Structures are given as C-alpha cells and as structure tokens.
Amino acid sequence: MAIEPDWWRALRGVEGRGTWIPDVLSLGTRPHPRGEDFAAVRAHRPAVCVELRRPSPYARLAVTDPDPEAAAHAVRTAAGI
C-alpha cells in the first residue's frame, strides 16, 4: 500500500468501463498489460493505492481521500498489517 501524492501517477492503463473526465476524475476500471485496476480518483488529490492479489479481479485499487494517511491506516488495520 502506498500514498501517491500525484493523483495521475496512481492511474495505470487506459480508461475502461466507468467514467473518465480529463483532469477531473477517473471512476471505474483501467485495463493494462498486467491486469485491470479499479480507480475512484479525483484530480489534484493524493490517492491511496492498494496492490491486490488473486482471487481479486483487480490488480490495484486506487482511491482519493481527503485524509489519505487515515484511510491507509484504516485499510492496514482492517487487513491486519
């Protein structure tokens, strides 16, 4: 898990199913050569990126949050890491 301060670096691949508004948001799937990510990312905000393992259908979850440190802590606590 990582906090990506540059929101656009959290996005891999190309727009898939969902909504993409350039320089505003990416909400949905993003296929790329190593699989598919799910992103719920608003522009100009840091994103929490969680690498996922099989059997998850996604390789990464990228989500922006007003308090990314607290969100990352909550995910770590829930996952027991």
| Strands across the sheet containing 2-4 | 2-4, 47-51, 60-64, 35-42, 25-32, 18-21
CB–CB of 11/38 below 8 Å? no
**Length of the chain, please?**
81
Confidence of residue 81 (pLDDT cuts 50, 70, 90): confident
> Can you give the pLDDT at residue 80?
82
Gap between the Cα atoms of 32 and 16, Å rounded: 10
Confidence of residue 74 (pLDDT cuts 50, 70, 90): very high
Residue closest to 59 by CA, chosen among 28, 29, 35, 26: 35
pLDDT per position as a tens digit, 16-72: 999 999 999 999 999 999 999 999 999 999 999 999 998 999 999 999 999 999 999
> Can you give the pLDDT at residue 62?
97
Mean pLDDT of the chain: 94
